[in-house]
Amino acid sequence: MSTFWAVRPRAVRLHLSDRYWYLRRCTSTIADVSKTSPPSPRAPPSFFKRNRGSIIWSSLALTFGLIGGNLVAHTMAPPAMPDPDSYEDKILMADLNKEIDNEFKVQILRGKCLGVARQLKGEEGGWVEVIPPSAEEPMLHPDNLMSNFRGAKGLGVERVFFDRTEKRLVAVIRFGPSLCGWPGVTHGGMLATELVEKMALTATLAENRGGALSEAAIPQRMPGTGTHAKMLAPTTYPDEPTHLSVSYVKPTYANNFYVVRVTPYYAPPDQSSRDIVPSEPSVGHEYVATLETMDGQICVKAKARFNPTKSFERVEGRIKEVARTNYTEFKDWLWPSRQKSTRI
């Protein structure tokens, strides 16, 4: 049966007219066109998408410009610090006093002021903390730096310690932002003046000028029985040094704590005064001071000579006079006949 339908003649097959095929082709084309909708037009990109690169780079440039400008402005012209004795300054001062009391060097020096070993041996002397006469009064006299530059923006806080045995002084001080000559760097004249004052204080305490140590030091206490040894700051102050030399080793930055060390200067035993170049007069008392960071790096070195006070010279004259009188009495006692015969 299948073979018949496969080989049947063309005349026997079902024949469709050309118009049928034409209409069929038209109908299928219209259906296909109606099924596929025309594409919708694309929406235009937003402003951010069209200028995305420019906006990102402009934002970055503006951000870094503002940050850099504020840093430069605060470095070159920092905001003003509060005035001394104001409410804001008292808050800053309380924080600075707490910070300096927690410094390791201050705690070590106050531990030395206890003088446990000397107390057990019954010896006097040793370390003592030099404090103002009262909490409101500045150190030393009213014309010093602590009076004129008080407050958190100046020389707000300091702790001074003096060794009565070896006649040396150690102070922990802080330089505020208003003491800068260059932004962030403390003025060199301020550093020199501060070192001169500390050397003058050492000379006053070491030479007992004007009775600086008389009835000033509180007896040393044992641990647990009282505070460490303290003494009031002297009221007398030596004149300006007759000789001063300052050497600046490295910059001293503000808003930091520093250590000032002052010791008496002793000429080397193998060096005579004739070998010193240039030649310097031997009259006076010399002191050497250094300004160091808290980790021991030296920033400034200074050396000064102070003339002996009149009271000190009078004491020396009395000693010489007593020695001469005792020597005369000793000669009269030792060789009375020879002295009498010589006088005749």
Residues 133 and 169 in one domain: yes
Q: Does some domain include residue 153?
A: yes
Residues 254 and 289 in one domain: yes
Q: Does some domain include residue 275?
A: no
Average pLDDT value over all residues in the chain: 73
Residue 276 pLDDT greater than 70, yes or no:
no
* Other residues' Cβ atoms within 10 Å of the Cβ of residue 253: 14
Q: Does some domain include residue 240?
A: yes
Residues 329 and 240 in one domain: no
Q: How far apart are CA 259 and CA 1, in angstroms?
A: 123
Is the bond preceding residue 278 a cis peptide, omega within 30 degrees? yes
In the chain, % of residues over pLDDT 90: 19
Closest alpha carbon to 155 in 17, 292, 254: 254
Supply the pLDDT for residue 43. Answer: 74
Supply the pLDDT for residue 80. Answer: 75
Answering whether pTM is above 0.75, one says no
Residues 287 and 331 in one domain: no
Taken in order 268, 270, 273, 277, the sign of the CA dihedral is negative
Q: Does some domain include residue 2?
A: no
Residue 17 pLDDT greater than 50, yes or no:
yes
Residue 238: what residue type? P
Supply the pLDDT for residue 240. Answer: 81
How many residues are there in the chain?
344
Q: What average pLDDT does this structure show over 105-127? A: 73
Supply the pLDDT for residue 166. Answer: 87
Residues 225 and 335 in one domain: no
Q: Does some domain include residue 123?
A: yes
Supply the pLDDT for residue 319. Answer: 52
More confident residue, 334 or 191: 191
Taken in order 98, 99, 104, 105, the sign of the CA dihedral is negative
Range of the domain at 218: 87-268+281-308
Residues 298 and 340 in one domain: no
Residue 216 pLDDT greater than 50, yes or no:
no
In this prediction, residue 45 has a pLDDT band, given cuts at 50, 70 and 90, of: confident
Instruction: Among 134-138, 180-184, 307-311, 329-333, name the most confident range.
Output: 180-184
Residues 322 and 209 in one domain: no
In terms of phi and psi (left: phi > 0; alpha: psi -120 to 50; beta: otherwise), the region of 263 is: beta
Hey, is 276 helix, strand or coil?
Answer: coil
Q: How far is CA 329 from the centre of its chain?
A: 61
Give phi and psi for 229, each to the nearest 5: -70, 135
Q: Does some domain include residue 18?
A: no
Residues 214 and 328 in one domain: no
Supply the pLDDT for residue 287. Answer: 93
The domain that holds 99 is classified in CATH as: 3.10.129.10
Residues 298 and 326 in one domain: no
Which tokens go with 20? 């049928």
Q: What is the domain count for the chain? A: 2
Taken in order 70, 71, 74, 75, the sign of the CA dihedral is negative
Residues 257 and 139 in one domain: yes
Residues 250 and 335 in one domain: no
> ∠ at Cα 100 (96, 104), nearest 5°?
155
Q: Does some domain include residue 119?
A: yes
Give residues with Cβ within 8 angstroms of 221, minimum separation 6: 114, 119, 227, 228, 229
pLDDT in tens, 166-176: 889 999 999 98
Residue 26 pLDDT greater than 60, yes or no:
yes
More confident residue, 103 or 48: 103
Q: Does some domain include residue 173?
A: yes
Is the bond preceding residue 132 a cis peptide, omega within 30 degrees? no
In the chain, % of residues over pLDDT 70: 60
Instruction: Among 77-81, 199-203, 228-232, 266-270, name the most confident range.
Output: 199-203
Residues 115 and 253 in one domain: yes
Supply the pLDDT for residue 277. Answer: 45
Spatial contact of 274 and 280, defined as CB atoms under 8 Å apart? no
More confident residue, 314 or 27: 27
